[in-house]
Amino acid sequence: MKKVLVLEDEANIRSFVVINLKRAGYETIEAGTGEEALEQLQRNPDIKVALLDIMLPGIDGFEVCRRIRASNSQIGIIMLTARTQEMDKVTGLMTGADDYVTKPFSPAELTARVDALYRRTGGAVTENADEISQPPFLLNTRNRTLEKNGQRIKLTQVEYAIVKLFMDNPGKALSREDILDTVWGRDYFGELKIVDVNIRRLRIKLEDDPTNPVYINTVWGYGYKWGV
C-alpha cells in the first residue's frame, strides 16, 4: 500500500487532503501535531511521502522536517505553505523538504505533486551501471549514495536525482527547465525556483566553498553545468 503521512492541524483541510489522496489510491496516516507526526513515522517506517503543514500548535512543520531529515533522507517531504508565506517555501526547502504546495491547492495539483514524489521515492528504480566515478565524487546508483573523497554525503532523493543528472552530463549546460523536467517530471506543476533552491542546498553539501562553486557552475540566464 502506498502510504502518505498528512500532518495538518486544521481538520477540514486535513480531511480534504485525505479524501483526495485516498481517491488517488493512497493509504493515509493522519497527524494533527508535529509530535504526533513523528510518532506515526516511527510506527510506520514504510511511509514514503509526508505532507507537512507549517503553522501548528507545538513544534512547527519546519522543525518536523528537520527532525525527519536528521535520520531519514529517503522519504519524500512536501510542505503545505500559505500563499502569503513566500519565504516559507525557501525555508522549507532549505530544511530538507523536496517540494511545497501553496494553499489553497486543487485536488489535481496535490495528487500530481504526491504522485511525482512517490515515483521518485517509491523505489522501482533499476540501474545498469553501479557506479559513476568522477573524482572527488563517486555515485553509487544501486544504493543511491554519493561519496566525496570517500566520505558519504547525505542526499535527499531529489538531490540524488539532480546529482545523477549532472554526472550523466558532465560539462554540459543544463537549462533549469531540463533539470525540472528530468527530476520532477514533465507533468510537474511547480516553479523553476525550486531548482535554484535545491541547487543552493546541494552546493552547501558538495562544494568546498559554496559561495565559490567549482562543481555546480551557474550558466547565467540559462541553468547549471557540472564541472569536475
Would you tell me which residues interact with Ca ion (CB under 5 A)?
9, 53, 55
**Other residues' Cβ atoms within 10 Å of the Cβ of residue 13:** 16
Nearer to Ca ion, 19 or 82 (CB): 82
DSSP code of residue 78: E
CB of 53 to Ca ion, least distance (A): 4
Nearer to Ca ion, 6 or 183 (CB): 6
CB of 201 to Ca ion, least distance (A): 25
CB of 127 to Ca ion, least distance (A): 39
Nearer to Ca ion, 34 or 223 (CB): 34
In the bound state, the residue with its beta carbon closest to Ca ion is 55
CB of 8 to Ca ion, least distance (A): 6
Strand partners, 138: 133, 147
Q: How far is Cα of residue 90 from the mean position of the Cα atoms in its chain?
A: 12
Query: Whose CA is closest to 36, among 57, 22, 21, 16?
Result: 57
Nearer to Ca ion, 28 or 156 (CB): 28
CB of 121 to Ca ion, least distance (A): 24
Angle between helices 34-43 and 61-71 (to 10 degrees): 30
Q: List CB contacts of 129: < 8 A, sequence separation 6 or more.
A: 141
Nearer to Ca ion, 55 or 138 (CB): 55
Which parts of the chain fold into alpha helices (H)?
11-23, 34-43, 61-71, 86-94, 107-121, 157-168, 176-179, 193-206
